[in-house]
Amino acid sequence: MAEALQWARYHWRRLIGGATRDEDSRPYNYSSLLGCGRKSSQTPKLAGRHRIVVPYLQPFKDEYEKFSGAYVNNRIRTTKYTLLNFVPRNLFEQFHRAANLYFLFLVVLNWVPLVEAFQKEITMLPLVVVLTVIAIKDGLEDYRKYKIDKQINNLITKVYSRKEKKYIDRCWKDVTVGDFIRLSCNEVIPADMVLLFSTDPDGICHIETSGLDGESNLKQRQVVRGYAEQDSEVDPEKFSTRIECENPNNDLSRFRGFLEHSNKERVGLSKENLLLRGCTIRNTEAVVGIVVYAGHETKAMLNNSGPRYKRSKLERRANTDVLWCVMLLVIMCLTGSVGHGIWLSRYEKMHFFNNPEPDRRIISPLLAGFYMFWTMIILLQVLIPISLYVSIEIVKLGQIYFIQSDVDFYNEKTDSTVQCRALNIAEDLGQIQYLFSDKTGTLTENKMVFRRCSVAGFDYCHEENAKRLESYQEAVSEDEDFTDTLSGSLSNMAKPRAPSCRIVRNGLLGNKPSNRLAGSSFTLGSREGASEVPHSRQAAFSSPIETDVVPDTRLSDKFSQITPRLFMPLDETIQNPLLETLYIIDFFIALAICNTVVVSAPNQPRQKIRHPSLGGLPIKSLEEIKSLFQRLSVRRSSSPSLNSGKEPSSGVPNAFVSRLPLFSRMKPASPVEEEISQVCESPQCSSSSACCTETEKQHSDAGLLNGKAESLPGQPMACNLCYEAESPDEAALVYAARAYQCTLQSRTPEQVMVDFGALGPLTFQLLHILPFDSVRKRMSVVVRHPLSNQVVVYTKGADSVIMELLSVASPDGASPEKQQMIIREKTQKHLDDYAKQGLRTLCIAKKVMSDTEYAEWLRNHFLAETSIDNREELLLESAMRLENKLTLLGATGIEDRLQEGVPESIEALHKAGIKIWMLTGDKQETAVNIAYACKLLEPDDKLFILNTQSKDACGMLMSTILKELQKKTQALPEQVSLSVDLHQPPVPQDSGLRAGLIITGKTLEFALHESLQKQFLELTSWCQAVVCCRATPLQKSEVVKLVRSHLQVMTLAIGDGANDVSMIQVADIGIGVSGQEGMQAVMASDFAVSQFKHLSKLLLVHGHWCYTRLSNMILYFFYKNVAYVNLLFWYQFFCGFSGTSMTDYWVLIFFNLLFTSAPPVIYGVLEKDVSAETLMQLPELYKSGQKSEAYLPHTFWITLLDAFYQSLVCFFVPYFTYQGSDIDIFAFGNPLNTAALFIILLHLVIESKSLTWIHMLVITGSILSYFLFAIVFGAMCVTCNPPSNPYWIMQEHMLDPVFYLVCILTTCIALLPRFVYRVLQGSLFPSPILRAKHFDRLTPEERTEALKKWRGAGKMNQETSNYANQSAGKSGRKPMPGPSAVFAMKSATSCAIEQGNLSLCETALDHGYSETQAFEMAGRCKD
């Protein structure tokens, strides 16, 4: 229903949008729906798919009129309404709600005299009130938007004016497409523009995009090719170029187009040339650009899709019940109509009371019955609760308010708390059955710590570094008081920091003597102690744990062999150890330069460290003159080869280099120049090193193992640098390199400076950067090596990819080739080891190219770059051509530590019956290891690994596993067959069998295939945890979609990166972790948290509360309305079904609108069935929400039955009391109403599990307001409200004891059954929630005791039932050891044996090897 409305509204908007475009240029809410569809209708036809931008200047005047007139200007209007259209438009919007339409229909109906039931005006009241409340809310919201818009529109920027031939101040709103804009540093960009000039000599411009995506690191943008080389600022007067680009779209990571000069020469444009509205210019003195998209057509505005609208499961459920209420209403009205017809046929001629029509005509019974139907609908309209939707909305706002103000979600470090971006699905949090989690950044901290590396086939395990990490972890876990919130039993578990233990254990198994147990006799050398001193200032990705890498002693020793001599061309004494040294040098150079890290000084966080630029700054000193010279020389030699700046690691494949590297053979930088550069480098560095702080000194003292390091020039400088990386891995590697005296000093698009300890400062010409993308899974830099003067490609990437790209050596090759083979094998072994430890692995490789090769490649690459249409594919191919025949240098292992509280949270969520899937792009070993570390998999879980190369194999494997699983559970009564209906997935819960499934990306593809889906889902339904490794973003969302649609379960996806966005959007609830990877996931999410551990409270406590509260409130609303309306209905049986109401209309209307509206809302916001502490301690309680126990279909009907009963009592007790007396209509209605009020309010009290003073206040207030109204109204209204007239009735009744007696009796009888039921439920068959409620009353000690008992009882019950089942089922089979024995055995084995082995043991215990071994897959050992 709602979806249909949304659809209709959207289409209507489109129509309106087409008609009144100027007024309604608001792609605000539906831009995501629209894509660029709507826009295309606005762009002039002649431009076709592209937009043409020309400046408003002489040569283009005609063209400008033609094109630019059709583009929107930069004025934005995000408001929905204007002063003029507010009323009609708001009404229109509101009447999209079915409920409002229904009430409008009733109002209209009441104006038909034939069926009129109330006074015409009165029926309008509720509707008017509801509409007014919402209109005021909308109006205020809109006004706020209007004020912000106005403020933004009136911001000032410098726009080139043709008249005055200079840049003049103009408001943002007056900027149009084709304008030239000049911005200074720290100014905000007013519209999307192509960068034409930057004061930066390299033609780059830094922007901060935090306003757009929240990422705080700087991004580089580049001047359009051909303009960068201009010395002077671009002159708009002489600009004779037209720009053709795509139509506006909301893809932030893409911009395609070209610049066409007057001589038809075309220059490609990419996103690197585009400055986006809303970003801030940083580190660049001034820039000039031409506007291509303005106002609502800017990418930022198109991305601003406003709040998301989802409908919760509960609301859908409630909607169906509203339909039932409609059915009920129709039945009641039909009864009334038929009844009236029959009654009338008896009394047709009775003019005495069957008042004829004004024209003295008597209507026939049939017609009268028909009219009566509509009259009844008006009379009984309250059955459809108009206030329900308003109340639900208010309650949800209240719930959101409480979620957001929960102090437990506050993260001190980031000063952030939970964000609720979707306002109306909070209750879905209480019903989650499947949780899909990203790994990196979600479960882990995404703080990449360099752990170890392998260079040239030698593993350097960095034991001191490991020690450092261990001690850090211990410090954390000691101080943690996380156990406060999680159950006491958790503290019994080994250690919250499971990963450390596990890694160590793996290390032992892997026979790595260097890795010692934490806290063993091995002690740290005193020199490392200092390195733990935290630094005072840190930039992104640079907590001390990440930056302070302690070098490995062995590797440091090898560094001592490094001398510049190695690169002397005449030195022919290259031997193996020296070759190794070369490898080491290359390896660390690659670590330092193969990235897109921006270097800045922490003192001025946004100031890039760079040499004084040519333009502007006055030259002061000799050093600067020297550096200028050096700079000139470098510029001269390297100007043609340019790079592309950086790409976000979002994995968009189309993001490639776009600059034209006009390759020319150039004179290599002469040794003299090198010398100069080295000489001039040092003074400059030392001059700026004055700002080095104490801590840095400590660091350099402590961190350096080689004594000579201190004497190195530039070293103090290094510690003063801040690295801003897009991905934390990059930063980790750069910091690692720094630890080995290989310090990245500065980076410009043309060159990278590295201070290499023994070799001195090296300046690499950057020829190219092929950025990282998720398809290639690697990145490369092409540089000219300053020492060897060769073109070198350094590549770093996922091991699986790099290993395939290595040069294939012939078996009888030369010795270096042979050695390369050995290195390769060894490295592969090390990689496997690393992965087993849960480290993230990267391979580093290089390739030396001859200049001709490079020229050849460059030519092709250029072709790829300039193509406009399938540029992505061509660029990909081009990259493939470059990145092959690589020489493996080594590998790195980076540790991504688990976030604090993750294992506890996962354990709690598991206990809550939530199935958790981990979807990660990491490799299998890493993923499995993390899964164990975070308790996703338990050591005694049975583990199945799906890793096949073909679909058939995958299918076979799955059926085998299934068969085995079935055999295992055959003894259990709940038999599950393969043909089980998918909608009722077999859930062998509590069968004692815990299984985990590991599936790799490739196999996942097969499993997601239609023919295997069913089997796959069936298999996964057996498993508590599923780990999908090597999954692409698309696969992630497909998995979520599959589970969600086929199993019809509530899904939640949580992730932090751009690659999780699609998954987050597909799931019922998407949660973004506002971590280190920017804000894309958060922007797409419904809720944003700062840490994974918050999820457990969000779901277990707030989800449970929100769901319980709202469902109870909705049920209560149905109850209330049915109970009250039925009073009117019963009365119809005594008034000839004539539609008389025994209550004054005002009281009738206000009863729902005022007297009984606030208590349910308060109930919905504040009700607390179980305290937060208990909910956290007993995650099992969450299951009630999963099963929708609070609001099942039969709950609705029981509620309705109760309502019927109560209304019967409420009507007939007064009826029998006053039967045959002289009571008049309204005097009869008064006790009915009063009793109904008490019944309805006390019913709420019975249902409430906790009552605060607010509840009391509101309930008392409701009662008082009712009496006050009745008394005042009864006293004032003598003739005011004809014909109904409650004059003095309440006053009379208040003096009449019978009135009180009737009210008390009625209330008692009406509430007795429910009360008794609740009491019996509480004592005889309490639900877990009711039982848990007792916990809230206990003292802490009693509580712990009770919890233990609860747990013990649960386990015991489960076990005994298992035992019973098994012994019953296995009577014919070989005798089994009792469950307790099995248990003991399990625990014994789990200590001794690694996880993988154990599952095998377990299998053996139950069955013997036969099937398992035959297929060699189920329960495969991990080793």
Partner 1 sequence: MAMNYNAKDEVDGGPPCAPGGTAKTRRPDNTAFKQQRLPAWQPILTAGTVLPIFFIIGLIFIPIGIGIFVTSNNIREIEGNVFMYYGLSNFYQNHRRYVKSRDDSQLNGDSSALLNPSKECEPYRRNEDKPIAPCGAIANSMFNDTLELFLIGNDSYPVPITLKKKGIAWWTDKNVKFRNPPGGDNLEERFKGTTKPVNWLNPVYVLDSDPDNNGFINEDFIVWMRTAALPTFRKLYRLIERKSDLHPTLPAGRYSLNITYNYPVHYFDGRKRMILSTISWMGGKNPFLGIAYIAVGSISFLLGVVLLVINHKYRNSSNTADITI
Per CB under 8 A, which of residues 386..415 are in contact with partner 1? 402, 404-415
Query: Nearest approach, Cβ of 599 to partner 1 (angstroms)?
Result: 17
What phi-psi label fits residue 35: left (phi over 0), alpha (psi between -120 and 50 degrees) or beta?
left
List the interface residues with partner 1, window 1331-1370 (CB under 8 A). Answer: 1331, 1333-1334, 1336-1338, 1342, 1345-1346, 1349-1350, 1353-1354, 1357
Binding window for partner 1 (CB under 8 A); candidates: 51-59, 810-818, 907-915, 1134-1142? 1134-1142
Distance, in Å, from the CA atom of 771 to the CA atom of 778, rounded to the nearest integer, reads: 8
191-220 residues in contact with partner 1 (CB under 8 A) are: 216
| Angle at the Cα of 1146 from the Cα atoms of 1145 and 1152, rounded to 5 degrees | 100
Member of 78, 354, 790, 1365 binding partner 1 (CB under 8 A): 354
The answer to whether 168 contacts partner 1 (rule: CB under 8 A) is no
Q: How far is the CB of 397 from partner 1 (least distance, A)?
A: 15
User: β-strand 257-260 against 266-269: which pairing, if any?
Assistant: antiparallel
Q: Which residues are known to be catalytic?
A: 438
Q: Find the part of the chain contacting partner 1 (CB under 8 A) among 5-13, 148-156, 1055-1063, 1274-1282.
A: 1274-1282
Strand 266-269 and strand 180-184: the pairing is: unpaired
One-letter amino acid of 927 = A
- By beta-carbon proximity to partner 1, the closer residue of 442 and 1140 is 1140
Is 402 in contact with 1168 (CB distance < 8 Å)? Answer: no
582 makes contact with partner 1 (CB under 8 A):
no
Distance of alpha carbon 534 from its chain centroid, rounded?
Answer: 31
Stretch that binds partner 1, among 795-803, 1041-1049, 1276-1284, 1396-1404 (CB under 8 A): 1276-1284
Q: Which token pair is 113?
A: 């005299």
Q: Which of residues 1167-1196 bind partner 1 (CB under 8 A)?
A: 1168, 1172
Angle, alpha carbons 493-499-503 (nearest 5°): 120
Binding span for partner 1 by CB under 8 A among 323-331, 579-587, 1280-1288, 1369-1377: 1280-1288
Are 305 and 233 in contact by the 8 Å Cβ rule? The answer is no
Residues 6+ apart with CB under 8 A from 105: none
For residue 982, the minimal CB distance to partner 1 (Å) is 31
Binding of partner 1 by 350 (CB under 8 A): yes
Footprint (CB under 8 A) of partner 1, residues 131-150: none
The smaller minimum CB distance to partner 1, of residues 918 and 1106, is found at 1106
Q: Are 279 and 214 in contact, with CB atoms under 8 Å apart?
A: no
Contact of 1053 with 1069, CB cutoff 8 Å: yes
Q: How far apart are CA 999 and CA 1001, in angstroms?
A: 7
Task: Supply the minimum distance, in Å, between the C-beta of residue 682 and partner 1.
Answer: 31
Q: Which is nearer to partner 1, 516 or 1334 (CB)?
A: 1334
CB 1264 to partner 1: min, Å = 20
Extended strands (E) in 77-179: 156-161, 166-171
Among positions 152, 1227, 1241, 1418, the unique one binding partner 1 when judged by CB under 8 A: 1227
Binders of partner 1 among 459-518, rule CB under 8 A?
Answer: 472, 475-476, 479-482, 484-485
Q: Minimum CB separation from partner 1 for residue 218, in Å?
A: 14
Q: At closest approach, how far in Å is the CB of 1305 from partner 1?
A: 6
User: How many chain residues bind partner 1 (CB under 8 A)?
Assistant: 130
Distance CA 1037, CA 1059 (A): 10
Of 97, 116, 96, the C-alpha closest to 106 is 116
Dihedrals phi, psi of 905, to nearest 5 degrees: -65, -45
Considering beta carbons, is residue 218 or 1225 the nearer one to partner 1?
1225
Nearest approach, Cβ of residue 695 and partner 1 (Å): 10
Q: Which long-range CB contacts under 8 A does 1419-1422 form with residues at least 24 apart? A: 1419/942, 1419/943, 1419/944, 1420/943, 1420/944, 1420/945, 1420/1396, 1421/1396, 1421/1397, 1422/928, 1422/943, 1422/945, 1422/1394, 1422/1395, 1422/1396
Cα within 13 Å of Cα(1383), Cβ side: 11
Residues 1075 to 1114 in contact with partner 1, rule: CB under 8 A: 1105
Which has the closest alpha carbon to 593: 753, 452, 718, 750? 753
d(CA 1144, CA 1286): 6
Contacts of residue 1301, defined as CB under 8 A and 6 or more positions apart, other chains included, come to none
- Hey, which residues between 782 and 841 contact partner 1 (CB under 8 A)? none
> Which residues 359-378 are close enough to bind partner 1 by CB under 8 A?
359-360, 375
Residues 409-448 that bind partner 1 (CB under 8 A): 409-417
SS3 269: strand
Specify the stretch interacting with partner 1 by CB under 8 A; choose among 812-820, 822-830, 955-963, 1135-1143. 1135-1143
Of 649 and 1230, the one with the shorter C-beta distance to partner 1 is: 1230
Pick from 1297, 1340, 1372, 1375 the residue near partner 1 by CB under 8 A: 1297
Which of 231/412 has CB closer to partner 1? 412
Which residue in the set 111, 309, 1197, 1216 belongs to the binding site for partner 1 (CB under 8 A)?
1216
Nearer to partner 1, 23 or 1342 (CB): 1342
313-346 vs 365-379: helix crossing angle, rounded to 10 = 150
CB of 479 to partner 1, least distance (A): 3
Angle at 223 between CA 220 and CA 228, to 5 degrees: 125
Closest CB 932 distance from partner 1, rounded Å: 22
Stretch that binds partner 1, among 47-55, 801-809, 939-947, 1226-1234 (CB under 8 A): 1226-1234
- Report how far residue 462's alpha carbon sits from residue 549's, in angstroms, rounded to the nearest whole number: 9
Contact with partner 1 (CB under 8 A) among 10, 95, 324, 1215: 1215
Question: Is residue 738 within 8 Å of residue 550, measured between CB atoms?
Answer: no
Nearer to partner 1, 175 or 1181 (CB): 1181
Nearer to partner 1 by C-beta: 1049 or 1338?
A: 1338
Q: Which 1242-1261 residues touch partner 1, going by CB under 8 A?
A: 1246, 1248-1254
How many Å apart are CA 1019 and CA 63, to the nearest integer?
64
Q: How far is the CB of 1135 from partner 1 (least distance, A)?
A: 4
Q: What residues numbered 880-939 form the site for partner 1, per CB under 8 A?
A: 900
Tell me whether residue 934 or residue 965 sits nearer to partner 1 (CB atom).
934
Which span sits near partner 1 by CB under 8 A: 344-352, 578-586, 642-650, 956-964?
A: 344-352
- Minimal distance, residue 1265 CB to partner 1, in Å: 22
Is residue 1147 within 8 Å of 1270, Cβ to Cβ? Answer: yes
Element containing residue 1263 per DSSP (H, E)? helix 1253-1276
User: Binders of partner 1 among 1301-1330, rule CB under 8 A?
Assistant: 1301-1302, 1305, 1308-1309, 1312, 1315-1316, 1318-1324, 1326, 1328, 1330
Residue 1038 φ then ψ, to 5°: -65, -40
Binding to partner 1 (CB under 8 A) within 1030-1049 occurs at: none
Cβ proximity to partner 1: between 537 and 885 the closer is: 537
CB 907 within 8 Å of CB 490: yes
Contact residue for partner 1 among 65, 141, 357, 804 (CB under 8 A): 357
User: Taking CB under 8 A as the rule, which mask of x and - marks residues 77-116 in contact with partner 1?
Assistant: ----------------------------------------
The set of residues, in sequence order, having a beta carbon less than 8 Å from that of 998 and lying 6+ positions away, is 924, 927, 928, 943, 944, 945, 946, 947, 1026, 1027, 1029
